[in-house]
Copies of this chain bind each other. A is one copy, B any other.
């Protein structure tokens, strides 16, 4: 832990800095993988499964039998939990579907926007230590609600060539039946370029390791869009004397257990809460199965004692955390001060894991200072907003003159003509 008591403002820019990852080194490898997938298609993916995941996968497409087996393997309790989470996520994201409002900017000039789903989307779900079926919910639910016509999902197989049953169960629950056994940069390449089994998509979503992140960036060279740039996960907790140290500690640790590069920040305006939270963290971390990872994350965590909640929020805005927890008695007062954050958790009972799984908000959020300029994933991420306009002859008459004058002043005479010829 790095402990700072009343750090001067001029030290803040140094404190909010995130670790720098050198991605350029990966670009050669990523280019090679894209080339191999472009040439070899499914065969290349099968080879990569052997090479990187030690998995024998004669078919990369998950079969109906595999879906059914998964359905049987997931416990009834887990199914019920996933269904409940899906319901809440659906409810929150469905409310994001806007009604079309036609605006008459002038009599006879009517403008509006309509949502259209991104037709083809690809979801990447990482393998590794945690089978992130919750991320399937967070991406598949809004994709379905938006009306995306093709939704495919790629995830790496385990050493036996299988996909975690909870991932398959959740995918099918959300209407996704095209799931492919491929992971890492090669999965991103496959969704970008297409193979015999996997169709090209227009937008790729989902988290992953540095190879996946680099491959998503690389995919953009092919005209594919991505959800957002990525970095390690983050939480910033602001606590006052009404906070509960054990709760704060548990939240900080639920971030720390994600990985050794997780970013954990705690700010309190009171010495007692500050020290008691540090003690609670030290006590709780010992009992975690992922103790080693969490401890490494804690090594570079920030614990800051400050003299006011206002100042804590000012620091938070500069930091722009992915998750911001306001463990404050009077949290409502501070909401308007929040400028940069991915998702905000209010009060003592809004733990981050509620939003990670089941409250309804999305857990795919901007990290690495991107909360300054990006939103988290929402229904908006799966649609384009197309503008429409209809001008009547009378409408064009009303603004025609203005258009002609402006077009001429910009030296664009054909633009002017398009009006003049209609008003002749």
Known: A225-B373, A361-B387. A105 touches B92 (CB 8 A): yes
Q: How far is the CA of A225 from the CA of B203 in the complex (A)?
A: 17
Q: How far is the CB of A216 from chain B (nearest CB, A)?
A: 13
Interface 0/1 of A343-367, CB less than 8 Å to B: 1111111111111111111100010
Q: Which residue of B lies closest to A114 (CB)?
A: B335
Given contacts A82-B406, A412-B254, A412-B257, contact A342 B386 (CB under 8 A): yes
Contact with B along A52-70 (1 / 0, CB 8 A): 0000000000000000000
Q: How far is the CB of A222 from chain B (nearest CB, A)?
A: 10
Of residues 66 through 82 on chain A, the ones whose CB sits less than 8 Å from some CB of chain B are: 77-78, 80-82
Give A14 to B128 CA distance when docked, in angstroms.
41
Binary contact readout A30-44 vs B (1 if CB under 8 angstroms, 0 otherwise): 000000000000000
Given A359-B399, A413-B288; A354-B106 close (CB under 8 Å): no
* Bound-state Cα–Cα, A50 to B78, Å: 67
A181 within 8 A of B: no
Most chain B CB within 10 A, of A85, A98, A380, A384, is at A384
Take A95-B101, A414-B257 as given contacts and tell me if A391 and B357 are in contact as well, using a CB distance cutoff of 8 Å.
no
Task: Tell me which residues from 138 to 188 in chain A have a Cβ below 8 Å from any Cβ of chain B.
Answer: 166
Do the beta carbons of B109 and A353 come within 8 Å of each other?
no
Sorted from nearest, which 9 A-B pairs have the closest CB atoms? A105-B360, A81-B402, A225-B373, A88-B105, A353-B415, A81-B405, A250-B418, A257-B414, A351-B418
> Residues of B contacting A202 with CB < 8 Å?
372-373
**Does A284 interact with chain B (Cβ within 8 Å)?**
yes
Is A306 interfacial (CB 8 A cutoff)? no
Tier of interface size on chain A: 35 or more
Given the interface pairs A103-B91, A253-B417, A418-B250, the reply to whether A387 lies near B362 with Cβ below 8 Å is yes
Q: Are B78 and A411 in contact (CB under 8 A)?
A: no
Give the oligomeric copy count.
2
Interface centre among A254, A387, A399, A419 (most CB of B within 10 A): A387
Q: How far is the CB of A312 from chain B (nearest CB, A)?
A: 17
Q: A389 touching B354 by the CB < 8 A rule?
A: yes
> Residues of A with Cβ closer than 8 Å to B?
77-78, 80-82, 84-85, 87-88, 91-92, 95-96, 98, 101, 103, 105-106, 109, 111, 113-114, 116, 118-119, 129-134, 166, 202-203, 220, 223-225, 229, 246-247, 250-251, 253-254, 256-258, 284, 288-290, 294, 331, 335, 338-362, 366, 368-376, 378, 380, 383-393, 395-396, 399, 401-403, 405-407, 409-419, 421-422
CB-nearest residue of chain B to A345: B389
In whole Å, how far is A84's beta carbon from the nearest beta carbon of chain B?
5
Is B378 touching A113 in the complex (CB atoms < 8 A)?
A: yes
Q: A81-B405, A223-B369, A422-B349 are in contact. Are A344 and B388 (CB under 8 A)?
A: yes
Cross-chain contact B378 with A410 (CB below 8 angstroms): no
Asked, given contacts A84-B399, A411-B130, A421-B247, whether A380 binds B386 with beta carbons under 8 Å apart, the answer is no
Nearest residue (CB) in B for A115 is: B375
Which residues from chain B contact A402 at a C-beta distance below 8 Å?
80-81, 84-85, 357-358
**Which residues of B have CB within 8 Å of A356?**
403, 407, 415
Is A346 a contact partner of B389 (Cβ separation < 8 A)? yes
